[in-house]
Structure 1
Amino acid sequence: MTRKMHLFAYLKTGPTALHASGWRHPEATLGDILSPSRYENIARTLEDACFDGCFFADLQGLYDIHAGGYDAYVRHGGQISYLDPMTVLPVMAAATRHIGLGATLSTTLMPAYHLARTLLSLDVFSLGRVAWNIVTSATDLEARNYGLEALPDKDARYDQADEVVEACMKLWRSWDRDSWVLDKEAGYFADPSKVHYTDYAGKYVRTRGPLTIPQSAQGHPVLMQAGSSPRGVEFAARWAEIVFTFGSAPEKAIAAYDRLKSQMVANGRRPGDCAVAMQVTCVVGETDSIAQEKADFANALAAEELNAAAASASAGVDITRLGGAEGAASKAAGAQGMHAAIEELEELRRQGAASVAAAARKRVPSQIVGSPTTVADKLEELFTAGCCDGFVLTPVTFPTSHETFARAVVPELQRRGLFRTRYEADTLRGNLGSRPGR
């Protein structure tokens, strides 16, 4: 049986995604950002193309790391969540039947019981199609919005995340699958012997339980994660069923892939129980030259100040104040920032950038540019080389980037036998073919 790739879509409840100023493109829609129809339509488009799922990246606040404020993000339309994704996902669930639906929620900021209750409610409502993109948060601004002075250090956040997920797993299993009786004649609604206290007590988390919600069609939400630090990989090897990785050179991607799978085996899990999905941005045109013209046009729209602000936000350090010494980015970020973003700034320094800030202003996300055949060739090359199990598609423009990929590239992948032509299961976990972490 030919190995099939997994496809996920990266979404925001705002005007743009990773491509700064993508909202300025003539094809980008703006008037529907706050409208349910925007999210219903993209969910149907992705489901028609048999995507495994989509998920919303999210931040609990406005980025204000760059130049001491949020001016660049607000003025230039950066990655701002103008709606809470948890209010949008039920709309998408009601409009679809198969596609997985993911939300980003923090184990550092939110209590385990709240996370377990909210996510399982949506998983039951969607008939088993929810994914939780687990984050430990990466900015002090989020911590302050939740009453903390600053984030704990990174290792402590992952230690807390382990406990939060452990507690959620126990809460999600606090009702046995056959607990509901629903016998009207006997007046017997549910069997109390099949409902259990959780009584979880750790260093960071205490929760008695039980939940008031029965298990979903897939048991509990699929666990998704994107940490690339050694501690993040350790966490993923224990829990994750989907890992979102940033694009990198093939040899580096293969090494990271093999490292994660080996750690999964050491944790008593099968390598196939976690799908590694590499982030890619695709610009598709009728021909390679037309696609390149499209990419050049879109990239020219990017506001350099927003590029710099995005780099500051991701790394957790104001790059306008960053020195050029080795390790400067990591030292300045402290407990903030994403490992991959800090490494990217260090790579700019190693490449001899006279000013990391000036170099970051000119950067746009790495892109696969070409005709449907060319794009499919590149994805197939990465997939078959052992870099990943599939891809997370980040758009340049919304909704046309995802629509064009679904209409033009997916059929080519299907023709090659690399991607499904129909959903094989009713739940997200069923379509992933995974088993949950311990």
Structure 2
Amino acid sequence: MSHKQIHLAAFMNAGPMGTVGWRHPDARDDFLSASYYVDTARLLEEAKFDMIFIPDSLAVPRSLGGRFDPAVRYGAGSPRIDPIPVLSLLAGATSRIGLAGTTSTGYTEPYNVARSFATLDHLTAGRAGWNVVTSFQDAEAQNYGFDRLPPREQRYARAEEFLEATARLWDSWSDEAIVQDKATGQFGRPEQVRSVDFRGEYVSTQGPLGVPRPPQGYPVIVQAGASPSGRDFAARWADVIFCSHESIESAIEFYSDVKTLAAKYGRDPDQLKILPAAAVVVGDSRQDAQAKHRAFEDLVDPEAGLSRLAYHINVDLTKFDLDGPLPEMEVAGVMGHYREVLEYALARNLTIRELGKWYGARTEGYLVGSASDIADGMQEWVDRGAADGFMVVATHVPAAFADFAAQVVPELQRRGLFRTEYEGSTLRDNLGLARPARDEWKNRAQSALSGETNR
């Protein structure tokens, strides 16, 4: 019997892992060294992961009490080093695994992003991915000369223009533009290179890009929107969606909604891979794994968890009674995180303080158990239409990834659910994604009419 193949990405900070992951006895503490990232990347490539995914933040969080003290004291969301040099380092240290990093559309320009990721795609022979974010922290805005973030709809309007401009820049060179004929002296075909001349309300660029078209056409586009605006944006632009759910029911709803929306926009839903977060704790038995997780939870200071939660939802939780419930809110930083946390809290009648303790060591998807238990859980989510694979979040680095690679990967392979060798040479090949033709952006860019008719 054939099974749907599971895709695996590795969520790895360019910095200390999680709120308390750095405290784990088996965690390496040299996150400012090259070997920290190189050794982990090689471990993940040996395990045949699809890609390494590096998130990012452009500020030291000040979400709890308006102070950065908790973030620094507990390592909650800080420090974060620049992911692009880290990915460049890994480009030379690996040969098959995909390398995806985060860049915000709010505080850079399309030309910068198009240039960086096209370069990375060439240097990796087609293994680059760009995680598109619109930023969710007022502290980030304040580092770039603004008092606060623009409203969500305005951030997505800018992102819409940003993606179109970036894709036009990638397409400014055709795949046949370079000749390099030493005998005639012709390097390139000018007729195969074109100006961009994009003028929008938020971004503008002339082009052409100073880098030839990427090997993948476009680097793989990753996005993590859970709000209506985010889902709509991801359904049109994303190749991979990173999401987070506290129940399989909410994951199934999200999966169905986004895939249906992608189809309404004329896309093949199978060309959009949805990877929920899975913070896996694996042990020799279920009891062993549960004991490991309890020991991990014991490392969490409630204030550290609250600092992490406040950072993710961009709400100062100190303005509420910490011994009362988490209130309903219409606006939060990462709406997906807020909705799942509220769902969890309501189901268990938790106070905000109790949420802090839990959130500091939460395990999305409840994947705590033996290798067989973990594989059972992953298989159920994929079979029931909740996921195409998983973003594996290590509780501590690199040992948690090593445990997963040594125990869970062989079990998935034994069941025929995961590759034993890479299928192709590019990240798109291994994810089963088609290479975009030149001017594919025209099919993904949103018109006013499509925005009205599909939502």
TM-score category (smaller protein): over 0.9
Q: Counterpart of 2:356 in structure 1: which amino acid?
A: A
Deviations along 1:368-393, whole A, 9 cap, x unmatched? Answer: 11111111111111111111000000
Write the distance in 2 (CA, Å) between the matches of 1:136 and 1:357: 29
The answer to whether the 8 A contact 2:304-2:356 is kept is: no
**Residue 360 in structure 1 maps to residue 356 in structure 2:** yes
Instruction: Report the Cα offset of residue 48 of structure 1.
Output: 0.7
The answer to whether the 8 A contact 1:279-1:392 is kept is: yes
Q: Counterpart of 2:266 in structure 1: which amino acid?
A: G
The answer to whether the 8 A contact 1:131-1:221 is kept is: yes
The answer to whether the 8 A contact 1:288-1:374 is kept is: yes
Write the distance in 2 (CA, Å) between the matches of 1:185 and 1:379: 57
**Residue 370 in structure 1 maps to residue 369 in structure 2:** yes
Deviations along 1:125-153, whole A, 9 cap, x unmatched? Answer: 11111111110000111011112221110
**Residue 162 in structure 1 maps to residue 160 in structure 2:** yes
Aligned to 1:153: 151
Distance 1:354 1:416, change over 3 A: closer
Which has the larger displacement, 346-355 or 268-277?
346-355
**Residue 25 in structure 1 maps to residue 21 in structure 2:** no
Deviations along 1:380-434, whole A, 9 cap, x unmatched? Answer: 1111111100000011111011111011100110110111111111111111112
Aligned to 1:405: 404
Write the distance in 1 (CA, Å) between the matches of 2:69 and 2:141: 20
Instruction: Report the Cα offset of residue 215 of structure 1.
Output: 1.4
Write the distance in 1 (CA, Å) between the matches of 2:349 and 2:430: 44
The answer to whether the 8 A contact 1:320-1:357 is kept is: no
Instruction: Report the Cα offset of residue 328 of structure 1.
Output: 4.8
Deviations along 1:306-353, whole A, 9 cap, x unmatched? Answer: 10101111111111213699995535xx5x511023324543664574
SS of residue matched to 1:189: strand
The answer to whether the 8 A contact 1:200-1:207 is kept is: yes
1:219-238 pair list within 5 angstroms:
219-238=217-236
Aligned to 2:452: none
SS of residue matched to 1:75: helix
Alignment equivalent of 1:108, drawn from 106, 117, 135:
106
SS of residue matched to 1:67: coil
Aligned to 1:136: 134
Instruction: Report the Cα offset of residue 81 of structure 1.
Output: 3.9
Aligned to 1:422: 421
The answer to whether the 8 A contact 1:7-1:391 is kept is: yes
1:53-68 pair list within 5 angstroms:
53-68=51-66
Aligned to 2:335: 339
Instruction: Report the Cα offset of residue 24 of structure 1.
Output: 0.9
Deviations along 1:167-204, whole A, 9 cap, x unmatched? Answer: 00100011111111111121111111111101111221
SS of residue matched to 1:330: coil
Which has the larger displacement, 168-177 or 80-89?
80-89
Aligned to 1:96: 94
Instruction: Report the Cα offset of residue 2 of structure 1.
Output: 3.2
Q: Counterpart of 1:188 in structure 2: which amino acid?
A: Q
Deviations along 1:265-302, whole A, 9 cap, x unmatched? Answer: 11110011110001011111112222121111111111
Write the distance in 1 (CA, Å) between the matches of 2:246 and 2:31: 31
SS of residue matched to 1:103: strand
Distance 1:320 1:351, change over 3 A: farther
SS of residue matched to 2:408: helix
Q: Give the TM-score of the pair, scaled to structure 1.
A: 0.94
Q: Where does structure 1 lack aligned partners over 5 or more consecutive residues?
A: none
Write the distance in 2 (CA, Å) between the matches of 1:419 and 1:359: 35
The answer to whether the 8 A contact 1:22-1:302 is kept is: no
Q: Counterpart of 2:367 in structure 1: which amino acid?
A: I
Aligned to 1:5: 6
Write the distance in 2 (CA, Å) between the matches of 1:300 and 1:71: 22
1:6-405 pair list within 5 angstroms:
6-17=7-18, 20-30=19-29, 32-322=30-320, 328=327, 330=329, 337-347=333-343, 350-351=346-347, 353=349, 355-363=351-359, 364-366=361-363, 367-405=366-404
The answer to whether the 8 A contact 1:108-1:136 is kept is: yes
The answer to whether the 8 A contact 1:244-1:276 is kept is: yes
Write the distance in 1 (CA, Å) between the matches of 2:421 and 2:350: 51
The answer to whether the 8 A contact 1:348-1:356 is kept is: no
The answer to whether the 8 A contact 1:13-1:80 is kept is: no
Write the distance in 2 (CA, Å) between the matches of 1:289 and 1:313: 32
The answer to whether the 8 A contact 1:104-1:132 is kept is: yes
Q: Give the TM-score of the pair, scaled to structure 2.
A: 0.91
SS of residue matched to 2:229: helix
Percent identity at matched positions? 38
Write the distance in 2 (CA, Å) between the matches of 1:322 and 1:161: 33
Q: Where does structure 2 lack aligned partners over 5 or more consecutive residues?
A: 445-455
Q: Counterpart of 2:11 in structure 1: which amino acid?
A: Y
